Structure 1
């Protein structure tokens, strides 16, 4: 064996060891899926996180983790935020991109507080429980809707709320948090964006307030014109100020969040990044302390690798396949599922036919985005596939059912019953205008459908397929672009849908929904 060959073998050995070691470390993003506006805390050795899902019901998702990397959904703050035409998708109205926004998760006197706000209801909503997983919950609501607020329980027994954009305000809450104390509103920071300069596109918002070692720390996000999303940190010795501020992080557009510590004394900042069609994805960034300031990042940069355990994947904690088989005491739907807006619970069932999700029609709709009872899960990156099998034998004339990728510029593949004939249809909605791209006659009552999402390097493309036997898949229509649009303000979601355009009381049965973290190479 010559010397060169020996060197190559030795080098390969050490490369393998290094690669193996890296594989056992966490990688950013820690969740490659739409989990924005996080609020995080630790109780003992367990971490909890709340997030935003806006127009989805149930809403205000709650997750837990033992290592800051591997998260699982454990509950929601509410089943329904309220009822109105916008929340219920009635009379042509909707709450896309609105509903409930950034939440705040806090723990005080052995109770958890999860709060949010809604321009749709015009209220601030607070949900209280002693057990995030099992409940029960107490609901508190009051007006007005305090934008991007942070609840803060101070050492002196007073409870405050900080909110606003650009100009940040503070107010004291009543002892039972049922509203605000009169004449306590003050301007906390006149221009919280100032540390990032004068030319600001997005005024400082997303407040998260902490008290650490006797000092108050306030985290916000701002966005300089022509720059990137930026973390702003303010600190003060007293909650009323004076406050001094600085730029906390300007890298990759990773921003908005706060601080979390580990039982062994390490610190991280939890933040997120706008990442195209998959949505806004969470990052963890190491934090050190210098002169009483949290210093975010490694030399101001967001690392790819973290000194935390590796991710085990987002299946089954964040998304999960479902064969719709339920035992008697099981919940009808696992937590990975959310309805697009408030559902009509009389028009769906996983009990009427064992092992199937039945979606029934109960009203006439003319547009997919206004249809009731679309059942959704997140897409995940860097790639993901969703597939299903439909029994369409009980469809009625004018019915349309299938598998979608939901956003303003949606795409879908389904079965349309039109003029006495069933046909497989692929539709897309560039710029939000729905177009039928291809249709194929269908002469059987079962059909397999599939959607594949490619988010690698922001490709943001999807393809749709059908199969008559579950073995041979054929593409249909055209690939779609998946842009992140502000009118929906959410990453693309897989969805199962059925709606009527002419007659009600038809139904379809979904045998399963399967999700995977790969796509085919066809």
Structure 2
């Protein structure tokens, strides 16, 4: 009876072929993590993307890809935006929800430019380099802060920024990009960019912003996001024969709330729109939408819808390009911190170390703080979907009375599992701020110097639930506290982040040693393609 094995072998071959074929296909979202306000440029066969991380330091992350799907962090536009109380988490001030906002990346005559703006400082910034990741960025800063601007190099050599919300203004820059050019173009070019998406009888909503400006085949194209009252986030597209107008506009896409972004072309001549979608607590996640050109307009989507699957190479996952584990061991000439890490606000570099104890991250308290959200030198990474977990091993030998150190999920409605030092005793605590106010849910006496901590996040279908656990031996894990209902809040304007922290509530000078941070995708076989239509 050789027939049955032959049939079995044939069916297995077919099944494997289908599986391999499916793996060759990209799915939306292309990045299931908080990478908002994306701007993308192509230089030859390589794509570069900038994004927003606001109060994080370093800031304006730059990512690189060869296929528009698989991205890796290669640089930041700046290490420190400015040295001031709000950015340093000093004197009770913070810049949660502010810092630097939507950036614009451009490639012009062999030089990369990334521009951004900050309400915190009231300035507009332009960073430039000829070799991303290998040469430092040069910085230009000027006033005022031009909201959601798009940097644009025209064919005649002139440089512009188009900015605003609802009413959009075009300004010409000086030749050296050092500021707005006196006597140059400075005029409102679109009085109400939201108009194409407005519904008769309904007023209000989000004024068109997030401008991204392009020139294709001699015409100018402008992408904006709007949010009509009673509707969803919407892509509005305008076009014109001259930068100063007149501009004509239309709705470009209205599906799933996928909006804000722009256009990118591939070497093979095909086009895509890159956009993002607000997806609950994980943050604002990037999507790609195919584009066809009809009658001089870019037509987004498939029959006006955002596809779940894309004719692009499959994702290889976000690890280690966007997030990564870290054993805190360093070889000679390696950077102190991989690019996946960002500090919550500006760090005080005197009080963290990877050399004080080889193979450990040491966080030393330098002042008395009132809460996790005001703790300086909290080291963060993105959480990611559909489900992810972060874990660490913590040595508490050098903590002082009143110190709190551990692993948190950073947002306004945060959650954390930590060790609290009280006199000569130590306890494990879980704090849940899911209601907006922190509540200590559970406290467990701790009688050893090393403890293992874990935070697990479930973002599938916007479930947005996190749980915390601990282990005394690194093998057997026990739950602690209560599930955290995560919520994306405007005061912070970021997706939840894993955070390693240590802060003093009584006396500075104590330290906590983190042996490693390990991040893991715990999504299993979740059908990411289905996420695109949720």
What TM-score do the two structures reach when normalised by structure 1? 0.97
Query: Within 2, Cα distance between the matches of 1:251 and 1:22?
Result: 25
- Determine the structure 1 residue equivalent to 2:304: 300
Are residue 261 (structure 1) and residue 265 (structure 2) matched?
yes
Are residue 494 (structure 1) and residue 532 (structure 2) matched?
no
SS at match of 1:210: strand
Query: Are the counterparts in 2 of residues 408 and 431 from structure 1 also a CA contact under 8 Å?
Result: no
Task: Tell me the CA shift for residue 168 of structure 1.
Answer: 0.4
- Determine the structure 1 residue equivalent to 2:331: 327
SS at match of 1:238: coil
Query: Are the counterparts in 1 of residues 434 and 486 from structure 2 also a CA contact under 8 Å?
Result: no
- Determine the structure 1 residue equivalent to 2:119: 119
Select which of 439, 445, 449 maps to 2:449: 445
- Determine the structure 1 residue equivalent to 2:133: 133
- Determine the structure 1 residue equivalent to 2:319: 315
- Determine the structure 2 residue equivalent to 1:191: 192
Cα distance change on mapping 1:15 and 1:226 into 2, 3 Å: farther
Runs (4 or more) in structure 1 with deviation over 6 Å come to 6-13
- Determine the structure 1 residue equivalent to 2:37: 37
Query: Are the counterparts in 2 of residues 87 and 342 from structure 1 also a CA contact under 8 Å?
Result: yes
SS at match of 1:22: helix
- Determine the structure 2 residue equivalent to 1:247: 251
SS at match of 1:430: coil
Query: Are the counterparts in 2 of residues 385 and 518 from structure 1 also a CA contact under 8 Å?
Result: yes
Query: Within 1, Cα distance between the matches of 2:435 and 2:178?
Result: 43
Are residue 287 (structure 1) and residue 291 (structure 2) matched?
yes
Task: Tell me the CA shift for residue 413 of structure 1.
Answer: 0.2
SS at match of 2:141: strand
SS at match of 1:155: coil
Select which of 215, 226, 240 maps to 1:211: 215
- Determine the structure 2 residue equivalent to 1:55: 55
Query: Within 2, Cα distance between the matches of 1:228 and 1:20?
Result: 36
Task: Tell me the CA shift for residue 23 of structure 1.
Answer: 2.1
- Determine the structure 1 residue equivalent to 2:431: 427
Query: Within 1, Cα distance between the matches of 2:435 and 2:189?
Result: 41
Query: Are the counterparts in 1 of residues 55 and 95 from structure 2 also a CA contact under 8 Å?
Result: yes
Select which of 390, 399, 402 maps to 2:406: 402
Q: State how 1:132-211 maps to structure 2 within 5 Å.
A: 132-183=132-183, 184-198=185-199, 199=202, 200-211=204-215
- Determine the structure 2 residue equivalent to 1:377: 381
Task: Tell me the CA shift for residue 19 of structure 1.
Answer: 4.1
What TM-score do the two structures reach when normalised by structure 2? 0.95
Cα distance change on mapping 1:193 and 1:11 into 2, 3 Å: farther
Are residue 364 (structure 1) and residue 365 (structure 2) matched?
no
Pairs aligned (count) = 520
Task: Tell me the CA shift for residue 224 of structure 1.
Answer: 0.7
Residue by residue, what CA displacement relative to the aligned partner does 1:316-370 show, whole Å, maximum 9, x if unpaired? 0000000000112111000000000000000000111110000001100011101
Residue by residue, what CA displacement relative to the aligned partner does 1:117-162 show, whole Å, maximum 9, x if unpaired? 0000000011111111112221100011000000110011110100
Residue by residue, what CA displacement relative to the aligned partner does 1:441-489 show, whole Å, maximum 9, x if unpaired? 0010000000000111111000000000001100000010111111110
Select which of 418, 426, 431 maps to 1:414: 418
Query: Within 2, Cα distance between the matches of 1:348 and 1:63?
Result: 26
Query: Are the counterparts in 2 of residues 31 and 314 from structure 1 also a CA contact under 8 Å?
Result: yes
- Determine the structure 1 residue equivalent to 2:470: 466
Please, which runs of 5 or more residues in structure 1 have no aligned partner?
none
Query: Within 2, Cα distance between the matches of 1:48 and 1:13?
Result: 38
Please, which runs of 5 or more residues in structure 2 have no aligned partner?
525-534
Q: Aligned-residue CA RMSD in angstroms? A: 1.9
SS at match of 1:309: coil
- Determine the structure 2 residue equivalent to 1:71: 71
Query: Are the counterparts in 2 of residues 279 and 492 from structure 1 also a CA contact under 8 Å?
Result: yes
Query: Within 1, Cα distance between the matches of 2:20 and 2:169?
Result: 49
Query: Within 1, Cα distance between the matches of 2:10 and 2:282?
Result: 41
SS at match of 1:432: coil
Query: Are the counterparts in 1 of residues 98 and 118 from structure 2 also a CA contact under 8 Å?
Result: yes
Query: Are the counterparts in 1 of residues 386 and 523 from structure 2 also a CA contact under 8 Å?
Result: no
Task: Tell me the CA shift for residue 18 of structure 1.
Answer: 3.6
